[in-house]
């Protein structure tokens, strides 16, 4: 639906564009601002209804805040359209939309949910372009198709003028599908020639209350230790076999912060994890919560090697606003208390989470680790690949949102990261959805929500670099150039002649 969902918005902004000066311009600006704000509010109010699991106030406040960038986008678009040639408007619309999504993706308070490109997570043939352009290129083309079809609608009374817009929209889809089909074939054939390593996921699907008391924490730890053994067995590894052998499972993943207790302070838990890794001859990559000697809190991943030694640690860098850190505690402290907000914010890590599994082996597996919210941002998986990661592992917990659409939306985003980086993504989620995603964005194996089980799959060890990994967000600069060119043309037309009507003359009775 994304390929046509923005047509009403595009048409509305054209109709709301100012046509005369003075008060009419101001009324048109307010009208277009309200159109954009309403669009953004409804998008988040309906699409992020799962925020109700936290509370109705956070849900409504989030929708009110996230609507603001859409209002700015609409006001700028409506002001520019009447001063631009009709044929240029869809492309300016698309470039501005990319910059809108980019603006929502940077900074400590970024919440880049509903990026337009992620709508194609389950349409792999159209998703492949992100390996070159990142999510911004696909966002641009989706918005451009909407703009072209919207412009065709505005000129529908004269099919000769409407036809080129429709043909151009169709051509974009054909080119994207052609490119995507070729890339998917290359990924499949390329993986067939690469070495594969079996990875295991333990999905405990434990209730949040299971960690509330000591007895519950012991049961939780025992559950994950047993699931680790099951994963090794399922992957053709040791299980209860001979200790001198070596497991055929490369490593087992525990989801985000499922290890009960404070990691550095819970020596028995550390010993149990180390003994399990050593006993199964299988590295263990686990999500933990920790507090250091200075009282700082961390959301981390730790790696135990086959010998049971602590081989690495990664501290989450992109922490969640109003989830893992809370501004204005002095002013809003009592409100935070009503919603059970933790007394301390999480600290942010500073180093890339790339571990070497099987040190000293010629086909050593370099694992890039990201935690939960970091999967929403292209930057973190890209940095892992640039640091040498051959597989991306995502540790996450969406337990707060139960069986709503929230965990499903979050899982879909991981497919975009897989194609951008050209890497297998191993997604370990505490209550689901856990899955293995290939570099073409296809889910190869998965566990549904709320099932306690293990999942194993052989992933390819890849060392290629996609264009996006090499060049990063280069497509944003093209969008900036398109907008700058549009601004120059609009400025010159504004001063050289009266503004062109935003609606094609043929579309008037």
Please give the full DSSP string across 223-244, using - where no structure is assigned. HHHHHHHHHHHHTT--TTS-TT
Mean pLDDT, range 434-443, rounded to an integer:
98
Task: Give the pLDDT band of residue 28 (cuts 50, 70, 90).
Answer: confident
pLDDT, the chain, mean: 90
Cα angle, residue 129 at apex, residues 126 and 133 outer, rounded to 5°: 145
**Cα–Cα distance measured from residue 284 to residue 310, given in angstroms and rounded to the nearest whole number:** 10
Q: Are residues 178 and 292 in the same domain?
A: no
Task: Check whether residue 179 and residue 257 sit in a common domain.
Answer: no
Residue 42 to residues 67, 101, 220, Cα–Cα distance (Å): 8, 16, 39
Query: Would you say residue 472 lies in a domain?
Result: no
Using the predicted structure, report yes or no on whether residue 271 has a pLDDT greater than 70: yes
Do the domain assignments include residue 105? Answer: yes
Does the pLDDT value for residue 389 go beyond 60?
Answer: yes
Q: Which pLDDT value is given to residue 508?
A: 43
If asked whether residues 176 and 216 sit together in one domain, one would say no
Report, as an integer, the average pLDDT of 478-492.
92
**pLDDT category of residue 503 using cuts at 50, 70 and 90:** very low
pLDDT at 499 over 50: no
Percent of the chain at pLDDT > 70 equals: 91
Residue 240 has pLDDT above 50, yes or no: no
Q: Does residue 79 carry a pLDDT above 80?
A: yes
Q: For residue 259, give the CATH number of its domain.
A: 3.60.110.10
- Asked if residue 227 and residue 102 are part of one domain, the reply reads no
pLDDT at 342: 76
The domain boundary, picked from 425, 444, 461, lies at 461
Q: Which residues fall within 8 angstroms of residue 242, CB to CB, at 6 or more apart?
A: none
Q: Rounded to whole angstroms, how far apart are CA atoms 206 and 405?
A: 19
Do 152 and 241 lie in a common domain?
no
Query: Tens digits of per-residue pLDDT, 132-169?
Result: 999 999 999 999 999 999 999 999 888 899 999 999 99
pLDDT band at 500 (very low <50, low <70, confident <90, very high): very low
- Report residue 241's pLDDT band, with 50, 70 and 90 as the boundaries: very low
C-alpha atoms less than 13 angstroms from C-alpha of 500 in its C-beta half-sphere: 21
Residue 119 token pair: 């709508």
Does residue 469 sit within a domain? no
**Residue 251 domain flag:** yes
Does residue 20 have a pLDDT over 60?
no
Distance (Å, whole) CA 378 – CA 401: 23
Q: How far apart are CA 12 and CA 70, in angstroms?
A: 14
Residue 93 lies in a domain: yes
175, 248: one domain? no
Residue 307 in domain: yes
Binned at pLDDT 50, 70 and 90, residue 507 comes out as very low
pLDDT interval class at 327 (50, 70, 90): confident
Can you give the pLDDT at residue 341?
Answer: 74
- The residues, ordered by sequence, that sit 6+ positions from 496 with a Cβ below 8 Å of its Cβ are none
Based on the fold, state whether residues 238 and 161 are members of the same structural domain: no
Asked if residues 101 and 112 have their Cβ atoms less than 8 Å apart, the reply is yes
- Provide the pLDDT for residue 474: 97
Q: Of 193-197, 382-386, 409-413, 479-483, where does mean pLDDT reach its minimum? A: 193-197
Average of per-residue pLDDT across 193-206: 95
Contacts of 429 (CB under 8 A, 6+ apart): 203, 255, 396, 397, 398, 407, 411
What pLDDT does 505 receive?
Answer: 45
- The pair phi, psi for residue 210, each rounded to 5°, is -65, -20
221 and 180 in one domain?
no
496 pLDDT band (50/70/90 cuts)? low
What local confidence, expressed as pLDDT, does residue 21 receive? 54
What is the CB neighbour count within 10 angstroms for residue 108? 10
**SS3 at position 200:** strand
Residue 368: which domain range? 197-461
Do 205 and 330 lie in one domain? The reply is yes
More confident residue, 15 or 377: 377
Task: Specify the number of domains making up the chain.
Answer: 2
Average pLDDT over residues 403-425: 97
Q: What is the 3-state secondary structure (H, E, C) of 371-429?
A: EHHHHHCCHHHHHHHHCCCCEEEEEECCHHHCCCHHHHHHHHHHHHHHHHHCCEEEEEE
Same-domain status, 215 and 340 = yes
Segment 483-487 mean pLDDT: 94
Q: For residue 83, give the DSSP letter.
A: G
Helices 56-66 and 68-80 cross at an angle (nearest 10°) of 20
Residues 166 and 186 in one domain: yes
Of the candidate ranges 49-53, 121-125, 458-462, 498-502, the one whose mean pLDDT is the lowest:
498-502
Q: Are strands 391-396 and 424-429 parallel, antiparallel or unpaired?
A: parallel
Structural element, H or E, at residue 285:
strand 284-291
Query: Mean pLDDT over residues 107-120, rounded?
Result: 94
Give Cβ neighbours of residue 4 (< 8 Å, ≥ 6 apart): 145, 146, 149
Does some domain include residue 215?
Answer: yes
Q: What is the mean pLDDT of residues 174-198?
A: 95
Confidence (pLDDT) at 360: 57
Greatest mean pLDDT among 207-216, 302-311, 351-360 lies in 302-311
499, 447: one domain: no
On whether residue 478 sits in a domain, the answer given is no
> What mean pLDDT comes out for the span 83-87?
93
């Amino acid at each position: 639906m994304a390929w046509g969902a923005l047509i009403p918005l595009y048409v509305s902004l054209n109709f709301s564009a100012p046509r005369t000066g003075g008060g009419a311009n101001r009324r048109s600006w307010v009208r277009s601002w309200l159109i954009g704000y309403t669009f953004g509010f409804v998008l988040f109010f309906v699409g992020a209804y799962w925020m109700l699991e936290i509370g109705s106030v956070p849900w409504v406040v989030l929708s009110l805040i996230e609507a603001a960038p859409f209002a700015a986008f609409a006001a700028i678009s409506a002001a520019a359209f009447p001063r631009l040639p009709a044929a240029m408007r869809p492309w300016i619309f698309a470039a501005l939309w990319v910059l809108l999504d980019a603006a929502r993706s940077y900074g400590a308070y970024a919440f880049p949910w509903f990026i337009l490109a992620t709508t194609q997570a389950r349409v792999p043939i159209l998703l492949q372009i992100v390996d070159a352009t990142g999510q911004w290129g696909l966002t641009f083309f989706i918005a451009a198709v909407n703009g072209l079809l919207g412009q065709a609608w505005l000129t529908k009374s004269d099919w000769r003028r409407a036809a080129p817009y429709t043909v151009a929209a169709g051509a974009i889809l054909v080119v994207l599908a052609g490119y995507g089909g070729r890339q998917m074939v290359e990924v499949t054939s390329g993986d067939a020639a690469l070495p594969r390593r079996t990875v295991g996921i333990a999905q405990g699907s434990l209730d949040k209350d299971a960690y509330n008391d000591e007895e519950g924490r012991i049961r939780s730890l025992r559950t994950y230790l047993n699931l680790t053994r099951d994963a090794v067995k399922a992957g053709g590894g040791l299980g209860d076999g001979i200790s001198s052998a070596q497991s055929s499972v490369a490593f087992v993943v525990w989801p985000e912060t499922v290890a009960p207790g404070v990691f550095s302070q819970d020596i028995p838990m550390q010993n149990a994890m180390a003994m399990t890794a050593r006993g199964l001859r299988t590295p263990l990559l686990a999500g933990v919560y920790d507090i250091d000697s200075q009282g700082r809190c961390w959301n981390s991943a730790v790696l135990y090697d086959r010998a049971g030694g602590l081989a690495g640690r990664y501290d989450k860098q992109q922490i969640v606003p109003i989830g893992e850190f809370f501004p204005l505690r002095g002013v809003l402290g009592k409100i935070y208390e009503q919603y059970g907000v933790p007394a301390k914010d999480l600290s942010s890590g500073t180093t890339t989470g790339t571990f070497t599994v099987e040190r000293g082996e010629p086909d050593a597996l370099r694992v890039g680790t990201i935690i939960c919210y970091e999967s929403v941002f292209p930057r973190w998986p890209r940095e892992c690949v640039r640091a040498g990661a051959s597989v991306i592992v995502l540790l996450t917990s969406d337990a707060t949102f139960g069986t709503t659409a929230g965990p499903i939306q979050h899982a879909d985003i991981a497919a975009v990261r897989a194609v951008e980086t050209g890497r297998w993504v191993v997604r370990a989620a505490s209550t689901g959805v856990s899955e293995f995603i290939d570099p073409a964005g296809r889910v190869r194996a998965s566990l549904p929500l709320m099932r306690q089980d293990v999942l194993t799959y052989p992933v390819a060890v890849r060392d290629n670099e996609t264009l996006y990994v090499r060049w990063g967000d280069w497509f944003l600069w093209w969008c900036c150039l398109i907008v700058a060119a549009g601004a120059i043309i609009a400025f010159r037309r504004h001063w050289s002649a009266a503004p062109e009507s935003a609606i094609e003359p043929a579309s008037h009775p």
